[in-house]
Structure 1
């Protein structure tokens, strides 16, 4: 019961994703083809909301559940290539599957069984990264 509020938040978020058509393969393809503003508007709104939330966290010095300060470390500008390569790989995966990691589980919950393949490969990719992480430059 301690985590019930998180379950409800996740269900509500999934509902919002479905109703806003963010999980729609056609909407995602429209975005990558620059045919419609729909997805760009949603992403832009998410960025604005995140900016406001970060400003509120900083202004009111909010704390996490354990009472620790919430801090967001600055990005290292020396690592720009790393961010570009990672973002490009993420974008290719998003374009190929028609879903980013957020809506994968929403799609599965909505009954799209084929999405279990990208979920399984995402889990496998995370495991491979974890296994190779000690050997990668960080």
Structure 2
């Protein structure tokens, strides 16, 4: 029997691809999507982390509306995980260190564009709802996470 648990599929996909599409709501009310390198931290079940730079459009979007959606897909598109939640921008040195360690070498391009680590912030998404799509099996499994 195949495993159709959305959280396990999410963890496996993120481990494999390391990136997802983060969608915020812009000041004009329209969605704004961008590719982000993302990771989880073992001690924080139900959270997804990425980094950005203070003052960017996505940070401004999150200051006005903390609702976000992430999409993570397999390279073959046979699995897609979408999660919804609320995101907060954090400037916590210990959390930054943990997230940077979890993201590892996947930030090479980020550092080329944003060389000043003092401007780095962590975006923490608290996952509220998660869906696993398996298009080839015509399967959708949804799960709400307890707060």
State TM-score, norm by structure 2: 0.21
Which has more strand, going by share of residues?
Answer: 2
More helix by share: 1
